[in-house]
Structure 1
Amino acid sequence: MRGELPATFASRLICTLGWCRGQDKGKMIKSACHDNQAEHYDLQVKNSQNDTSDYIRENYATIHQTALHMLELNPRDRLLDIGIGTALLEEKITTKLSFYGIDISERMLAKAQEKGLSIELKKGSFLSIPYPEKYFTKIVTCFAFHHLDDTEKSVAIDEMFRVLTSNGILVIADFMYKNKTEKANLTKRFTTEGRKDMLEEMEEENFTDIEWLTGIIKRYGRKIYTLQGSTISWIVKAA
């Protein structure tokens, strides 16, 4: 049985993975809540890799590698990473291709730039991708999608397919559950383990229902593949 993480610590880890919410004139916005964590973000990820009580980072590196494998990268690709952060994923890519990354955090983008990788970086979000239609052959997003509510996720899927070529590949790696039954099973498990922190995160961080997500993606006539990467993380591929 895994010991309980303090709720504040778990929330801080979640925040480093993605985007937070704020209010601006009655409209939901995404704020760069992890700007102040950009300086030490890579170290935080590294230090949490072997923490067996941390469901958030469970199999983090393996999930990255699996997502890259599912992208089927080749030198002719234009790859967009949405929520690129400090470019941890791109550091693992050995194929020479055209890299692009967007994030709402200017400090995260600055840290990515410092790594000297050949990536075109821009400020942007799921809901407003600053590129023309059919521009990318591959799109990936890792541990950022859960900061959108279902309405926003539906819009984000439309926006991603807008900039993806007709034969392109989309890969989403994030916190998900297979269906409502599996969500109930996770809730029961975390309750049994005394993991109040994880029960709160499941609700506050909008874990994605894969059954619902695949229904949205099917509108685009794509084949869908799913793979569970950890207790709470899945990888969804649309090709």
Structure 2
Amino acid sequence: MGREFVDLFEEWATSYDESVTGHDPEYKAVFDKYDTILAEVANHSTGNVLEFGIGTGNLSKRLLDRGATVIGIEPSSAMRKLAAAKFPNLRIENGDFLHFPEVGVPISTVTSTYAFHHLTDEEKNVAIKNFNELLPTGGRIVFADTAFESQQAKQAAIELADKNGYQNLSEDLQREYYPTIDTLRNLFESNGFYVTFKQMNDFVWLMVAEKTA
């Protein structure tokens, strides 16, 4: 999430909440344990939180309920409109992982769910490098996103989607930039973060990266 997939977000805005709550069988496994995933991200987040890809505000609600100060970054106008209707006092900015306005306050945590895979590996590296400059020592990046243990595991997921007739999911897996865990670990560590991974469902991993230098 640069801007390459903004049209997709615009189309998905009105049905996103239905998908994440398990009503779309094609994406049911992707959003399995969705509430637990959001809770894990919120529980690892502290201080002022910069949230990328806020979508319809589901993670934002969790963060606000914990007393966090949240600044939301979202490239989709349709998603921003839905989130603003839910949370009229939430600060929401037009932006993405690579380009976003000055936030004007110290940030302790950068969060995101189901969005980082929209960047190429090169773009992911730029984003993490920028977050290193934004965060203090001990600051965190807390992401939950689709990733795979290997390229073979990714290919197996594509083949299973094809077998089940899940054409949209298969196309997503082939079109978007789903990384391996080793790639993500290298990106975080090379940019001054210590990172841990926890698998949340067949697709999604929780990533908690703490700035060490």
Q: TM-score, normalised by structure 2?
A: 0.83
Distance 1:159 1:53, change over 3 A: closer
Match in the other structure for 2:59:
89
Cross-structure match for 2:110? 139
Match of 1:61 among 9, 14, 35: 35
Match of 1:45 in 2: 20
**Structure of larger gyration radius:** 1
Counterpart Cα distance in 1 of 2:199 and 2:115: 17
Structure 1 gaps of 5+ residues are 1-17, 22-29
Equivalent residue letter for 1:58: D
Partner of 2:123: 152
The alpha-carbon deviation at position 216 of structure 1 amounts to 1.1
Q: 1:188 deviation in Å?
A: 5.7
Compute the displacement of 1:69 (Å): 2.0
Counterpart Cα distance in 2 of 1:197 and 1:107: 21
Q: Which amino acid aligns with 1:45?
A: V
- How many residue pairs get aligned? The number is 209
Q: Are 1:176 and 2:133 counterparts?
A: no
More strand by share: 1
What secondary structure, in the 3-state scheme, does the structure 1 residue paired with 2:144 have? strand
Q: Take 1:86 and 1:220, find their aligned partners in 2: how far apart are those partners?
A: 30
The residue identity in structure 2 corresponding to 1:82 is F
Residue equivalent to 2:75? 104
The CA deviation string for residues 12-53 of structure 1, in whole angstroms up to 9 with x for no partner, is: xxxxxx7773xxxxxxxx53433354345434433527x487
Coordinate RMSD, CA, aligned: 2.8
After TM superposition, give the deviation of residue 235 of structure 1 in Å: 1.3
Any gaps of 5 or more consecutive residues in structure 2? Answer: none
- Go from structure 1 to structure 2 and tell me whether the alpha carbon gap of 1:92 and 1:215 turns closer, same or farther (over 3 Å shift): same
Report the more deviating stretch, 213-222 or 229-238.
Answer: 213-222
Contact 2:53 2:113 in 1 (8 A): yes
Question: Percent identity, aligned pairs only?
Answer: 23
Paired with 1:224 and 1:134, the residues of 2 have a C-alpha distance of: 25
Tell me the SS of whatever aligns to 1:136: coil
1:79 aligns with 2:49: yes
